[in-house]
Amino acid sequence: PKKTLKYYGGNYDTFVQVKAENEVNQMKQYEKQQADIKKIKQFIASAGTYANLVKQAKSKQKILDKMKADGLIEKPEEPPTFKFNFPECERLPSPVLALNDVGFAYSGEMKDALYKKVNCGVDMDSCVALVGPNGAGKSTLL
């Protein structure tokens, strides 16, 4: 199958709708093309050696060859499905994460520190929220 990059305008919902419509249309075109090919092949096979049908059969064969040369419509592929199995993990002893006297400064000098002497512990039952204004060092701490 030939892989191509397709651009879709709009948001994700529009993308899903347009992609589904395109797949339905492609499937209809594919099925019609396959039916046409089957019909042509049946005609060629049934023409046999009848003198009056041989010319028509050759013409139909040329049509079939041209369809193949121009590229046949590919059957739409089902997207792969993924299944993940994560084993149950054992309970970890507290703290899972411990910060003791943590500090950070971009300059390396503690007088410019974004934070100093941070102490905290996180266990498996903890819910943590880092809040602060932009540039306060939340991502840097993580």
Residue 18 has pLDDT above 90, yes or no: yes
Residue 101: its pLDDT value, please? Answer: 92
pLDDT at 2 over 70: no
94 Cα distance to chain centroid: 39
Q: What is the pTM of this model?
A: 0.53
d(CA 120, CA 141): 12
Give the Cα separation of 26 and 14 in Å (integer): 18
- In 3D space, the residue among 62, 54, 72, 50 whose CA is nearest the CA of residue 2 turns out to be 72
Instruction: Enumerate residues 6+ apart whose C-beta is below 8 A from 112.
Output: 105, 106
- pLDDT at 121 > cutoff 80: yes
Tokens of 57: 């059969």
- The band of 58, judged by pLDDT with boundaries at 50, 70 and 90, is confident
Check whether 100 has a pLDDT greater than 60.
yes
Q: Is the pLDDT of residue 90 over 90?
A: no
pLDDT averaged over every residue in the chain: 87
33 Rama class: left (phi>0) / alpha (psi -120 to 50) / beta: alpha
What's the rounded Cα separation, in Å, for the pair 56 and 63? Answer: 11
97-116 mean pLDDT:
88
Asked if residues 67 and 37 have their Cβ atoms less than 8 Å apart, the reply is yes
Residue 43 CA, chain-centre distance (Å), reads 42
